[in-house]
Amino acid sequence: MANHQLTSLIRMANQIAANNTHIGDENAEAEMVANHLSKFWARSMKAQISEYLNQGGDELTPIARKAIGLMSSAG
């Protein structure tokens, strides 16, 4: 079950990142995604995706990786 949940979080983070590529600036896109995750994801979801990134985060898109890194460093 935990693996399914992590797969869902990865998919959602990548989709949120993909929906913000219209901005055209990678840093601004990552900040928007990080803001969204911080506001709307439960603490447990943020902890799980942050831990996944710390372990390599291979399935995350570059924008999702950057956003999760920003979110993690912000607290």
pLDDT at 13: 98
pLDDT of residue 70: 96
* Short-list 21, 26, 36, CA closest to 71: 36
- Residue 1's pLDDT is what? 41
pLDDT of residue 41: 97
pLDDT for the residue 75: 62
SS3 content of the chain, % helix, strand, coil (to 5): 80, 0, 20
pLDDT tens per residue, the chain (75 residues)?
Answer: 469 999 999 999 999 999 998 888 999 999 999 999 999 999 999 999 999 999 999 999 999 999 999 998 876
